[in-house]
């Protein structure tokens, strides 16, 4: 069976990371008790969900503070990701934004720093800032988020753009638009994909696969939960290679355990065919789904 890890980064910066990580959107905002959120992320780390995905946007920095508490004393066990707002992604502003994120997280470096979505600051400036942050040891790698295939091609053609480690986009069973163009582009350039909203909290509105009786029935047959089915589907290997890291957000301990156990679930060809029949991939290019 294919190991449940994905390689992030190129050359000397390449690193293997478990294919399921942890999201933090809506943490640090008082929706769940702060202690519960910290414990959930710690529990995820205990269970092998090493990657923690933050952003300066989430809770206006509050999610980074929660993550910072969760990794205290165990920084090396985590693979920390954060994101810069597009309007903070300038030559100097990105440095300031990164330093503020590091302070909130209580660490001296990020494992991966992403441009949250395409903005109006020239990409050349953002790339220059990312390069300076790498040289200063403040970030290990850089990447982007919410970039479609044309955006990726533009980035890739710029000096330093090919160093992009990955693209983080919305991807789940009921939102498969990226399979027609973006996912093949990333595969061709050997860049993994980080799947946000893997439990379909958003995207392709009007469908909620977690509550779909057909999906629940299939999951029950397999002896797993429908959330685990969605995660195992998102990280399924293609042609023997894993290229997706799913980052479900979970504040409840039972959800964390569920998600971690999905790392070991392998879906056979018959199950994948049944899922394709229930939620077919589109035939042609569709605009990138975003939250
Ligand atoms: P998800 O698809 O991860 O859904 C999160 C919801 O699912 C929460 O309500 C959570 O509940 C619930 N849940 C988690 N695990 C289970 C389970 N095993 N069974 C049932 N329910 C479960 O949505 P998100 O929007 O949070 O996306 C994940 C992460 O992706 C974000 O947290 C963020 O880090 C990132 N993201 C990035 C974006 C970008 O633009 N780059 C945009 C959106 C998200 P509970 O918390 O109560 O446990």
Which CATH code of 3.40.50.2300, 3.20.20.100, 3.40.50.620, 3.30.310.160 fits the domain covering 5-278? 3.20.20.100
What is the value of pTM for the model shown? 0.98
Residue 227 in contact with ligand 1 by CB distance below 6 A: yes
CA of 32 to the centre of ligand 1 (A): 13
Tokens of 63: 């999610």
Q: How far is the CA of 216 from the centre of ligand 1 (A)?
A: 19
Which pLDDT value is given to residue 205? 64
Model pLDDT, residue 84? 98
Run of H or E including 101: helix 93-105
Q: Which of 37, 171, 201 for mutating ligand 1's site (highest number of atoms within 8 Å of CB)?
A: 201
> How confident is the model over 143-169, as a mean pLDDT?
98
Cα gap 100→102, rounded to integer Å = 5
Tokens 């710690």 belong to which residue?
42
pLDDT surpassing 80 at residue 129: yes
Average pLDDT of 3-22?
Answer: 95
Of residues 103 and 201, more confidence is placed in 103
pLDDT, residue 206, reads 63
Q: Taking a C-beta distance cutoff of 8 angstroms, is the pair 64, 105 a contact?
A: yes
As a whole number of angstroms, the distance between CA 232 and CA 234 comes to: 6
Domain boundaries, the chain: 5-278
Nearest in space to 170 (alpha carbons), one of 204, 125, 207: 204
Helix boundaries (H) for 149-284: 149-157, 182-188, 213-222, 226-234, 253-261, 269-278
Cα separation of 99 and 238, whole Å?
37
Strand bridging mode 193-196 / 167-170: parallel
């Amino acid at each position: 069976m294919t190991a449940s890890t994905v390689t992030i980064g190129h050359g000397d910066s390449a690193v293997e990371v478990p294919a399921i990580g942890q999201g933090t959107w809506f943490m640090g905002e008082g929706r769940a008790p702060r202690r519960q959120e910290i414990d959930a992320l710690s529990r995820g780390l205990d269970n092998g969900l090493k990657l923690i995905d933050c952003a300066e946007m989430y809770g206006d920095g509050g999610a980074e503070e929660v993550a910072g508490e969760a990794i205290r004393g165990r920084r090396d066990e985590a693979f920390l990701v954060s994101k810069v707002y597009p309007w903070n992604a300038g030559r100097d502003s990105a440095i300031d934004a990164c330093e503020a994120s590091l302070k909130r997280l209580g660490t001296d470096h990020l494992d991966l720093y992403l441009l949250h979505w395409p903005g109006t600051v020239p990409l050349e400036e953002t790339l220059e800032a990312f390069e300076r942050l790498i040289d200063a040891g403040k970030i290990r790698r850089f990447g982007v988020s919410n970039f479609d295939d044309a955006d990726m091609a533009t980035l890739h053609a710029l000096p330093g753009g090919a160093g992009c480690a990955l693209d983080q986009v919305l991807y789940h069973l009921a939102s498969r638009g990226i399979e027609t163009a973006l996912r093949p582009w990333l595969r061709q350039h050997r860049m993994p994909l980080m799947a946000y909203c893997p439990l379909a909290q958003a995207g392709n509105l009007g469908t909620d696969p977690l509550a779909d009786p057909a999906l629940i029935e299939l999951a029950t047959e397999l002896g797993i939960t429908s959330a685990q089915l969605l995660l195992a589907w998102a990280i399924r290997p293609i042609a023997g290679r894993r290229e997706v890291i799913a980052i479900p957000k979970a504040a409840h301990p039972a959800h964390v355990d569920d998600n971690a156990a999905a790392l070991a679930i392998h879906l056979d060809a018959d199950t994948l065919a049944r899922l394709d029949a229930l939620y077919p991939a589109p035939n042609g290019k569709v605009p990138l789904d975003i939250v």
